[in-house]
């Protein structure tokens, strides 16, 4: 009897591959990048009136090399500039307001207590701004007045007693969103023309310590194009102020930034040293100083024609040379933006030679061009920051959020 044939495995029936919908092979859809901030706070504007110019209380504009600065620059004019300019910076962009920074009113550095009138023009400057703000729909969110920091705590105490007794300041404060908090969140003594070491004197350091104890910040405007090693002085200054302190001053000390013309290793090193100090904020203001004036004007003309072409790209590259290490050092959490109006206006808008030899000849204004100049600078910052990888919420922080935190702005 023969053995049965071996059993063979049943033949398997080939199955077709599962039918997947086309969406299974598509790359995941990422939300679109937001390339514009939701809102802007302009943290650096200057204002002055014809009365201040004629009285000599604010004398420097009439002597300026820039014809564009020789007439008044009021809050009403600034409001018109922003209304026309904000539309060009981004869709549905909200302008939340501005921070006024003293415009270097006349003062007497030898008047130790203000009894000789050496503080009157600076106090009058704040009086004028408060009255203008009360009559305007454009919000002034904080005030940065001049203060005699170089004279030390006693002089500062007397000065702020006089300043804060202004009826216009009281009325302005009562109208603000934080009526129980003074709008004077910071002060300034202009350092950009001071000699090396000026703000390392014992009186200046003591004055800064007094400000910190009072909860008042200090706008340390530094022009590294004029004084070599000024950033190193700034590092030493902040370190000396912090000596013996158990906590950092609140609010913090901002550092408005005016870049140097030549890029040097010492600049980058000092910038990073400053960034290591707590409660130091970097204000981007005056970056147009880093480029050739003729390049700025050519780029602005290109922008006016509705394009960001070769000249704008060249200018942005020049600005990025200084902006990139600044962003790397301070990060998006400690940078704020200011237009430096009307100073940027003088660097962008070309005017014909004045027909009169008078240094105070009125300057014809083109409302559209003025608005475009403001938008041009804000767009320069925005596109440069985009190139460094900031977008969406990062832009929100730089253009408004950080300013609210630093200046204590409750909108």
Is 271 inside a domain boundary?
Answer: yes
Residue 337's DSSP bridge partners are 284
Rounded-to-integer distance, Cα 299 and Cα 311, Å: 5
Q: How far apart are the first and last CA of the chain?
A: 104
Instruction: Residue 368: give its domain's CATH number.
Output: 3.20.20.140
Residue 253's DSSP bridge partners are 280
Candidates 309, 274, 313, 306; CA nearest to 291 is 313
Is 43 inside a domain boundary?
Answer: yes
Cβ count near 380 (within 10 Å): 24
Burial 183-197 (b: 16+ CB within 10 A, else e): bbbbbbbbbbebeee
The burial class, CB within 10 Å (0-12 / 13-18 / 19+), for 225 is middle
Rounded-to-integer distance, Cα 246 and Cα 250, Å: 12
Contacts of 410 (CB under 8 A, 6+ apart): 177, 178, 181, 404
On whether the CB atoms of residues 125 and 105 are closer than 8 A, the answer is yes
Is 20 inside a domain boundary?
Answer: no
Secondary-structure percent of the chain, ordered helix, strand, coil, rounded to 5: 45, 10, 40
Is 10 inside a domain boundary?
Answer: no
Domain extent, residue 69, equals 36-407
Is 223 inside a domain boundary?
Answer: yes
Is 23 inside a domain boundary?
Answer: no
> Considering the entire predicted model, what is its pTM?
0.88
Total count of domains within the chain: 1
pLDDT tens per residue across all 411 residues of the chain: 566 666 565 666 677 777 777 777 777 766 788 999 999 999 999 999 999 999 999 999 999 989 999 999 999 999 999 999 998 998 899 999 999 999 999 999 999 999 999 999 999 999 999 999 999 999 999 999 999 999 999 999 999 999 999 999 999 999 987 888 899 999 999 887 777 788 899 999 999 999 999 999 999 887 655 556 777 888 899 999 988 776 655 555 555 444 433 445 677 888 899 899 888 999 988 888 778 999 999 999 999 998 888 999 999 999 998 899 999 999 999 999 999 999 988 889 876 655 444 445 556 688 899 999 999 999 999 999 999 999 999 999 999 999 999 998 986
């Amino acid at each position: 009897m023969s053995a049965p044939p071996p059993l063979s495995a049943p033949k398997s029936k080939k199955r077709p591959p599962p039918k997947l919908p086309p969406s299974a092979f598509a790359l995941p859809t990422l939300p679109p990048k937001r390339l514009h901030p939701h809102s802007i706070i302009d943290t650096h504007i200057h204002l002055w009136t014809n009365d201040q110019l004629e009285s000599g209380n604010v004398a420097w504009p009439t002597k300026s090399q820039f014809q564009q600065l020789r007439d008044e620059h009021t809050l009403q004019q600034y409001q018109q500039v922003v209304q026309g300019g904000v539309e060009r910076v981004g869709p549905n962009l909200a302008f939340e307001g501005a921070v006024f920074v003293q415009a270097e009113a006349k003062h007497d550095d030898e008047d130790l207590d203000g009894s000789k009138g050496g503080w009157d023009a600076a106090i009058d400057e704040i009086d004028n701004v408060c009255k203008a703000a009360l009559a305007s729909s454009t919000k002034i969110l904080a005030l940065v007045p001049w203060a005699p920091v170089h004279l030390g705590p006693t002089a500062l105490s007397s000065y702020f007693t006089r300043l804060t007794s202004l009826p216009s300041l009281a009325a302005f404060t009562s109208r603000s969103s934080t009526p129980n908090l003074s709008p004077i969140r910071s002060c300034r003594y202009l350092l950009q023309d001071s000699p090396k070491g000026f703000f390392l004197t014992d009186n200046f350091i003591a004055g800064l310590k007094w400000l910190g104890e009072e909860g008042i910040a200090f706008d340390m405007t530094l022009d590294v194009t004029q004084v070599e090693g000024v950033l190193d002085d700034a590092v030493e200054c902040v370190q000396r102020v912090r000596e013996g302190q158990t906590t950092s001053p609140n609010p913090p000390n901002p550092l408005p930034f005016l870049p140097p013309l030549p890029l040097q290793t010492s600049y980058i090193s000092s910038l990073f040293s400053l960034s290591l100090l707590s409660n130091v904020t970097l204000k981007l203001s005056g970056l147009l100083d880093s480029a050739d004036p003729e390049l700025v004007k050519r780029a602005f003309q290109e922008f006016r024609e509705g394009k960001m072409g070769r000249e704008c790209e060249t200018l942005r590259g020049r600005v990025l040379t200084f902006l990139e290490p600044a962003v790397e050092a301070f990060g998006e959490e400690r940078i704020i933006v200011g237009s430096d109006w009307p100073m940027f206006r003088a660097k962008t808008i070309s005017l014909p030679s004045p027909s009169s030899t008078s240094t105070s000849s009125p300057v014809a204004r083109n409302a559209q061009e003025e608005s475009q100049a403001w938008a041009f600078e804000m767009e320069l910052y925005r596109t440069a920051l985009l190139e460094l990888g900031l977008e969406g919420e990062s832009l929100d922080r730089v253009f408004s959020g950080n300013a609210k935190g630093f200046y204590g702005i409750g909108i």
